[in-house]
Amino acid sequence: MSKATFKPFGDDMSPITEVPRLRSRLERYSLVIVGLFISAGFLGANTLVGFDADMSTLIAVGVVFFFSLFAQTLINAHSDMQFRLAESNRVLESRVSERTLDLTRINVQLTDEIHLRQEAERLLRASESRYRTIFENAGTAIMICDHQGQVLLANSQLHDMLGYTAEELRDSNGWMAFMEVGQQARILRWSVENHATGSSPRCFESALQCKNGENKHFYVTMATILGRPEVLVSLVDISELKQAERRLFHQAFHDPLTDLPNRALFMEVLDMTLRRSRRNRECLFSVLYLDIDRFKYVNDSMGHLFGDQLLVRFANAIKTCLRDSDTVARMGGDEFAVLLDNVQGLEYTDVVVERITTMLRKPLDINGHEIFCAVSMGIMADCRAYENADDIIRDADAAMYEAKSAGGDCCKMFEKRMYRRFKRVLELETAMRKALENEEFVLHYQPIVSMKCGGVSSFEALARWQRKGFGLTPPAEFIPVAEETGLILPLGRWVLAKACEQMSLWQKTYPALADCSVCVNLSGRQFKDPDLEEHIMQVLQDTGLSPKSLKLEITENEVMHNPERAIELLGRIRKLGIKIMVDDFGTGYSSLSYLHRFPIDVLKLDRNFVDRLDTSTVPSDRKIVEAIVALAHGLNLEVVAEGVERVAQREFLAKLNCQFAQGFLYYRPMPPEMIREGYLDKSSGKILMPPNTHHPSLISHHP
């Protein structure tokens, strides 16, 4: 801080130098006066002595002159000395004043510095206290270590979290000793390499062993402290987060019901196995694809809870057939996949397949119910040639599908042709789903004729698919696929509704057809549908068709699949007034022992028997037909002979008193428009007989 200096004598004249100058002037005047007094005294003395006046004056002047000169010299010398003294005094004073100023300035600076230093110390103390407070109360464990990991200082949270005291930490081999060995080396290297450079902090996750032996997970941040050979380490306990993460991971990659790996995880493991086998061609591995047979039936009939328990028991049972290194996964629904890893030769695959099939021969106990669980299994014995995991599963699935198509409860080793078939089925399924939405299905009707009078007694509704770009597709091409894929349920419902609607319309338009009925095929899947009965009643109600105008055809095989259930269900349906026909009779299970118990009305003699009636040289072929017709009559059942193409067949059947016939000899299946335009007599509402049947051209229907 500069201060203005007050100068009363101007810059060049200080009060110190001015005083001697005045004094010298007074001295000079006093000497002249003394000289004058001496001269006067001398003049007086001369006069007394008797010197003459002139001489006295001369001596007096001389004395005055001498004294003046002497006085002048003295005065000059004195003045000079005075002046020099004053000058040096002035310089000295000036220096003193300068020094004083300097000292004042320095003093001010020192005072400032002391203030600054005091402020800095205060700030440092505040900062130290702040950082200590943060260090102690940060809510995370913090420690300061040397670059070897030796703990120099740690806050209380760190002690709490790890359980070690300050002494124990100090005496340990550094905090890194608590982490797993592989990580230790990496972290130590980073610490040593970076402690001097002050590089950006390093963050990582680490499991540290606490004093109580527990392994906790921490999010660790390590930061070098600039200018000091120290590292600041902070630990955030993420053990719960890790647990939640593990739970989430588990949920994302495991099936919640069976706790088995799910499809995503299985595909991941399969992919890794495939990649490993590419590096080492010796690594053989196999894949099994399993689907529980008739699981949907169990689910529908026993309830979903029971179905779930079956899946869990099945999953556990499969696990017992495998080694720990094998993987079993639930791929969805009732499908499971097994990865047999590192099989030493493919014999192990056979062994496991055998173990599974043996295991399945024993019943599974579910809530006291003994359930035999059959599976269809696709086997991919050696998967090394594959490019990706998806293709392996695709082919394993195709082999499983083949096993399922073969009736289930069997294993099929994958062959290339299976995939082609599987692909075709998949394509058909997709196309059929769209076809259902776009209403590409139509019904053709084939009249069934009374052999006595040639009248039409009923019409069989037969599904056709007007497939875009493929023309009219026959049911043999799509019904089996619809059965396999379950699409038969929506398709079957549509057929039933459409056929009842058509018959109702015909009856309303042509009263002569009032006693005519429509026959609708029921597939096995439909027959197992628990809502079947309700659906039939709903359709009859919606279309206004009388139950006696509806006949349901079910194949002998389906009836025999679960005879007791068939007896019960068919009985209820029949009570509604609907007639039951057994289709393809004679081709499937021998149901003779059951036949009398079945609540049925009509047997349909299979086309193959009819075909051989006039061509076969084996007499037994005709005997079989005779026996079936006689049996039916004995049980009071009507018989419809299917596939009657030739007159000879008709005549043979007529002799046996077979009541009804269906075949190209009479009519081919036709769209309703063709029946209306070509065969319906508009005035009478009766069906016209085709010319080649040798019956009267206009024939009334026969009830």
Ligand X SMILES: Nc1nc2c(ncn2[C@@H]2O[C@@H]3COP(=O)(O)O[C@H]4[C@@H](O)[C@H](n5cnc6c(=O)[nH]c(N)nc65)O[C@@H]4COP(=O)(O)O[C@H]3[C@H]2O)c(=O)[nH]1
Sites of contact with ligand X (CB under 6 A) = 446, 462-463, 474-476, 479, 492, 495, 521, 523, 553, 583, 607, 642-645, 662-664, 669
Beta strands at 364-366 and 369-371: parallel, antiparallel or unpaired: antiparallel
Q: Each residue of 514-532: b (16+ CB within 10 Å) or e?
A: ebbbbbbbbbebbbbbeeb
For residues 284 and 345, the answer to whether their CB atoms sit within 8 Å is yes
Report the phi/psi class of residue 163: left, alpha or beta, with left for phi > 0 and alpha for psi in -120 to 50.
left
569 vs 644, beta carbon nearer ligand X: 644
Give me the least distance between CB of 529 and ligand X, in Å please. Answer: 12
For residues 585 and 636, the answer to whether their CB atoms sit within 8 Å is no
525 vs 701, beta carbon nearer ligand X: 525
| CA dist list (Å): 150 to 140, 145, 154, 665 | 19, 5, 11, 103
462 vs 656, beta carbon nearer ligand X: 462
Give me the least distance between CB of 518 and ligand X, in Å please. Answer: 11
Instruction: Extract the runs of DSSP E, i.e. beta strands, from 184-300.
Output: 202-209, 215-225, 230-237, 286-292
Nearest to 197 by CA among 176, 224, 232: 224
Cα–Cα distance for residue pair 669/673, rounded to 1 Å:
12
Nearest to 482 by CA among 446, 510, 521: 521
The residue behind tokens 């010197």 is: 51
What is the token pair recorded at 421? 């078939």
561 vs 607, beta carbon nearer ligand X: 607
| Strand-pair partners of 340 | 286
397 vs 553, beta carbon nearer ligand X: 553
Give me the least distance between CB of 339 and ligand X, in Å please. Answer: 38
397 vs 606, beta carbon nearer ligand X: 606
Give me the least distance between CB of 655 and ligand X, in Å please. Answer: 19
For residues 155 and 138, the answer to whether their CB atoms sit within 8 Å is yes
408 vs 490, beta carbon nearer ligand X: 490
CB-side neighbour CA atoms (13 Å) of 441:
27
Nearest to 221 by CA among 238, 201, 198: 201
184 vs 662, beta carbon nearer ligand X: 662
159 vs 695, beta carbon nearer ligand X: 695
Cα–Cα distance for residue pair 536/542, rounded to 1 Å:
10
Give me the least distance between CB of 660 and ligand X, in Å please. Answer: 12
| CA dist list (Å): 323 to 329, 333, 341 | 14, 24, 9
Give me the least distance between CB of 473 and ligand X, in Å please. Answer: 10
For residues 130 and 116, the answer to whether their CB atoms sit within 8 Å is no
Length of the chain: 703
For residues 32 and 68, the answer to whether their CB atoms sit within 8 Å is yes
SS3 254: strand
Give me the least distance between CB of 275 and ligand X, in Å please. Answer: 47
Give me the least distance between CB of 448 and ligand X, in Å please. Answer: 10
Give me the least distance between CB of 368 and ligand X, in Å please. Answer: 37
Cα–Cα distance for residue pair 191/201, rounded to 1 Å:
10
Give me the least distance between CB of 371 and ligand X, in Å please. Answer: 28
Report the phi/psi class of residue 471: left, alpha or beta, with left for phi > 0 and alpha for psi in -120 to 50.
left
Nearest to 489 by CA among 561, 436, 541: 436
Give me the least distance between CB of 602 and ligand X, in Å please. Answer: 12
Give me the least distance between CB of 638 and ligand X, in Å please. Answer: 16
Classify burial at 326, counting beta carbons within 10 Å of its beta carbon; exposed 0-12, middle 13-18, buried 19 or more: buried
What is the token pair recorded at 245? 């993460």
Nearest to 441 by CA among 460, 426, 410, 462: 462
475 vs 571, beta carbon nearer ligand X: 475
255 vs 483, beta carbon nearer ligand X: 483
Classify burial at 138, counting beta carbons within 10 Å of its beta carbon; exposed 0-12, middle 13-18, buried 19 or more: middle
Give me the least distance between CB of 310 and ligand X, in Å please. Answer: 28
Give me the least distance between CB of 699 and ligand X, in Å please. Answer: 19
Give me the least distance between CB of 669 and ligand X, in Å please. Answer: 5
Q: Which long-range contacts (C-beta less than 8 Å, at least 24 apart) are formed by 89-94?
A: 89/16, 89/17, 90/14, 90/16, 90/17, 93/14, 93/16
